[in-house]
A and B are shown apart, each in its own frame.
Chain A
Amino acid sequence: MAFLKKSMGAAKKSKMTDTNLLLTITIVVFVAMYLAAVLFLGEGFLKPQAFFNMLNQNAALIIVSCGMTLVMITGGIDISVGGVVALVSMSCAVHLDHNGGSILEAVLLALGIGLAFGLIQGFLVAYLEIQPFIVTLAGMFFARGMTTIVNATQFNVAHEGFVKLKDTRIIMPEIFGTLNKHGKFIPAYIEIGVVVAILVVVILFCVLRWSKTGRKFYAVGDNNQSALMLGINVKRTKFTAHVICGLLAGIGGFVYFLHVGSGSPSHASGMEMNAIAASIIGGTMLSGGVGNIVGALFGVLSLSTIKDIVSSMGFDEAWWTGITVAAMLCIFLIIQSIVTARKSSSVAKSDG
């Protein structure tokens, strides 16, 4: 809430940056949407567990979206993340189940795969100056192809330690719990993945907001040339962004794996587009220089809320979800475009 207040305060001084304005819009829309859902659809949304389930289901997407946001702030894009998540979960599943490996090895494997993708793609994008879209497109193809080469069919992991870890629930304080029909107390819980996701969000948020390295990402994304003139190593900054994004895709892959507990070539299909959509809804601009990690978190939550609303309103058919998500994306894009137009017109005014 602190940053919300901060951005509100900034609004009063009418010196609000694009980042904060877009973030405020996102948070307001999310809160309004959730309140509306509670008011009109009632019951289901009122339970704290409904909210925690949203986090449980989307922990991996939150982590991946953070990486995507970071790359988008530097003006790039990474569409390989969905493929990397699928590859990581398949590799970990095979390692645990067929090779009888340990969980620690699986975690290292996940990090290694993510890091490898990040390093190679980052090098190609930053130092060989190839368009990020093409590089990460090839990365996506490669990851998806490799997933089926590793194992072509879906299977559940029966590794003992892993199943235990997968079923670990972190019980929330008593006030969030509810009584079921028989008057029995059911505590609210979150999964381990959510803790990881929140850690990632907090760390990245602090780095981007207060550290020198973090500010470099914004500078590079906003204007390559002036960042260069300020003495920022543009190439290395872009490289770092891609490496972090790859690493987060690896972490996200493991969290995803922890949530679903199986390996499948069709896992995480379309995740890259969901991550991009979440980042955009969270106020990140694809042109670079504008964006916020907390926005990515709220972007994911907004996406998930609208999906829940649509399905609980009785529009069960799958196509309604697609259409509403798209409509929401459309509205946010138009808001962004208006913000940009407002900014350029105010610049023109101050120039005149």
Chain B
Amino acid sequence: MTTADTKKKNKPNVSELFGKIFKRQIFIPIAAVLVLLLFNLIVDPGFFSIELTRNSAGNPVLSGNLITILNNGSELAILVLGMTLVTAASGGQDISVGATIAIAGSIILRIVCGTDAKADSASFGIVLVAFLVACVASMAFGAFNGALVSIFKIQPMVATLILFTAGRSIAAWINNNQLPTVSDPSFGYIGGFIPGIPIPTPFIITVICIVLMALLLKFTNLGLYSQAVGINESSSKLNGINPIFIKFLTFVILGLCTAVCGLIKVSRVSGITYSVIAQDIEMDAILAVALGGNALGGGKFNMAASIIGAYIIQILTTTLYAYKIESTALSAYKAIVVIVLVIVSAPAVRNKTKAFFAKLKAKAAAERKEVA
């Protein structure tokens, strides 16, 4: 009796609350994360175990599937920061990020290793210099893309197709097609663990990047301006925003993100393979932006949703690996999940389901009236 009463009382509030949550852009990505984690919880609770173990060098490290997700999702999460801005401002995506990561990684190794394609020691200073040079180069490549998109008004996907085709070739050319390796273990700290800190370094770098991006969006008008440019370029121009500069800037920021990813990528394996490094990451980054519920046609964006989108992809990957699915077959399963998510969040489907529920409600109300 009492429970039924409270239920009746709470009912409108609850449905209102759900309606509000459902309307939020971030709802679908978070729901997807919860569904994926719930699936893992039901099938194998051991998925969530986190252990403090010692790695081969004897340093304490955290291990477990959740840590793997946070660790391996780093590059993607950093990349989406830039990709979301580019998508919002220019209404298109940069498909050259994988190639630019290869270039950045190649530059870093070139400076650390010199012409011998081998380095036994890598001091902090030289790695820093290498990273800074890679940053400048990546930003220059970003500027190239940005100039094509903003000044020459070429669709972003097509403009970045140029670097997509040439990028890995340029990366191979920088190192004269050698495969440099760094044998100094301290070079691997960036992509692994710093002695004494059990948290994976890439995750720390990701957090730093996210905080920097949050500060950038909080204290500058970049977010607002890029949305304005994405929604309507000419009206934003009339309002005193320079659309060319904003588009250009977003591509340069994305370039910076790729340099950070390049550093992490080469540090993970202490070397580089030009055709394999960051393969298909551009597709994953675009998917992450789309899974975050952002319109790929530009305009409004939600950075947090994009970042969650990146981790959705990583959770999915790690989950599938945990069930012993081969890495080559992985993409088929990924595609199915992506299609389901995209269909669920498609406006046409959402409107239809809304209409369906409204009809159901009206029917129920009519029946209630009849009974009364």
Contacts and interface: CB of A to CB of B under 8 A. Distances in A.
B331 A322 contact: no
Contacts of B152: 333-334, 337
A134 interface: yes
Contacts of B329: 145, 148-149, 152
B287 A137 contact: yes
Contacts of A320: 169
B322 interface: no
A336 B170 contact: no
Nearest to A83: B331
Contacts of A146: 332
Interface residues of B, number: 45
A144 interface: yes
A325 interface: yes
A19 to B, nearest CB: 17
A130 B343 contact: yes
B157 A139 contact: no
Contact of B158 (A128, A140, A286): A286
Interface in B335-349: 335-336, 338-339, 342-343, 346-349
Contacts of A137: 283, 286-287, 338
A152 B152 CA distance: 43
A181 to B, nearest CB: 35
Size bracket, chain A contacts:
35 or more
Contacts of B296: 131, 133-134
A139 B162 contact: no
Given A318-B172, A319-B177, A320-B169, A131 B297 contact: yes
B244 to A, nearest CB: 13
Given A129-B348, A131-B290, A333-B152, A145 B338 contact: no
A176 interface: no
A318 B297 CA distance: 35
B346 A141 contact: no
Contacts of A51: none
Contact of B162 (A134, A318, A329): A329
A141 B326 contact: no
Nearest to B158: A286
Interface stretch (A27-35, A253-261, A272-280): A272-280
Contacts of B287: 134, 137
B165 A336 contact: no
Contacts of B169: 318-323, 326
A138 B154 contact: no
B161 A276 contact: yes
Contact of B328 (A145, A327, A330): A145
Contact of A277 (B93, B165, B297, B330): B165
A333 B165 contact: no
Contacts of A220: none
B361 interface: no
A333 B154 contact: yes
A134 B290 contact: yes
B343 A138 contact: no
B166 A323 contact: yes
Nearest to A265: B328
B273 interface: no
* Most chain B CB neighbours (cut-off 10 Å) among A138, A148, A341: A138
B177 A340 contact: no
Q: Is the interface of B mostly helix, strand, loop or mixed?
A: helix
B334 interface: yes
B27 interface: no
Contacts of A124: 339, 342-343
B335 A139 contact: yes
A334 B349 CA distance: 39
Contact of B331 (A133, A145, A152, A326): A145
B102 to A, nearest CB: 11
Contact of B286 (A134, A149, A323): A134
B334 A145 contact: yes
B283 A144 contact: no
A337 B166 contact: no
Interface in B147-204: 148, 152-155, 157-159, 161-166, 168-170, 172-173, 177
B338 A134 contact: yes
B96 to A, nearest CB: 10
Given A133-B157, A287-B155, A148 B165 contact: no
A340 B153 CA distance: 9
Interface in B94-117: none
B333 interface: yes
A160 interface: no
Given A137-B286, A142-B331, A152-B326, A273 B161 contact: yes
Contacts of B333: 145
A131 B346 CA distance: 9
A275 B40 CA distance: 40
B332 A133 contact: no
A200 B329 CA distance: 33
A135 interface: yes
Contacts of B168: 319, 322
B328 A333 contact: no
A317 B164 contact: no
Contacts of B336: 142
A127 interface: yes
A145 B297 CA distance: 28
Interface in A103-156: 124, 127-131, 133-135, 137-142, 144-146, 148-149, 152
* Most chain A CB neighbours (cut-off 10 Å) among B165, B170, B326, B339: B165
Interface string A301-331: 0000000000000000111111101110110
B84 to A, nearest CB: 15
Contacts of B155: 286-287
Given A133-B157, A134-B290, 11 more contacts: A133-B286, A134-B286, A137-B283, A139-B335, A145-B331, A145-B333, A280-B158, A319-B173, A322-B169, A326-B169, A337-B152
Interface of A: 77, 124, 127-131, 133-135, 137-142, 144-146, 148-149, 152, 265, 273, 276-277, 280, 286-287, 317-323, 325-327, 329-330, 333-334, 336-337, 340-341
7 contacts: A131-B296, A138-B339, A140-B283, A142-B336, A276-B158, A280-B161, A326-B165
> Ordered nearest first, which 6 A-B pairs have the shortest CB separation?
A145-B332, A322-B169, A326-B166, A319-B169, A142-B335, A141-B335
